[in-house]
Amino acid sequence: MKKNEGTADRVIRVILGFILIYIGAIQMGLSGVLAYIVVLVGLILLITGTTGFCGLYTVIGINTLKKKTD
């Protein structure tokens, strides 16, 4: 897997991931399917943010990673 997320993209994903997990699992007391969906989306954001790779970005051809210039 080749990284395709820039630093700002990754930071935003990690922060949003933690927020969604907190809302879905703890804070808002969401019940049933909605809580699971919110937590799942949060986990996906957290994982893609920490790895620097987004499969959806690959499919649609987006790359927010700045290329190093020599």
- For the chain, the domains span 7-60
Sign of CA dihedral 21, 26, 27, 32: positive
Q: Please state, as a whole number, how many other Cβ atoms lie within 10 Å of the Cβ of residue 32.
A: 7
Q: Which pLDDT tens digit goes with each residue over 13-51?
A: 999 999 999 988 886 666 778 888 999 999 999 999 999
Prediction pTM value:
0.85
Answer with the residue of higher pLDDT: 67 or 14: 14
Q: Please state, as a whole number, how many other Cβ atoms lie within 10 Å of the Cβ of residue 4.
A: 19
35 and 10 in contact (C-beta within 8 Å)? no
* DSSP H helices in the chain: 7-22, 32-51, 55-60
Residue in the block written with tokens 């990673």: 65
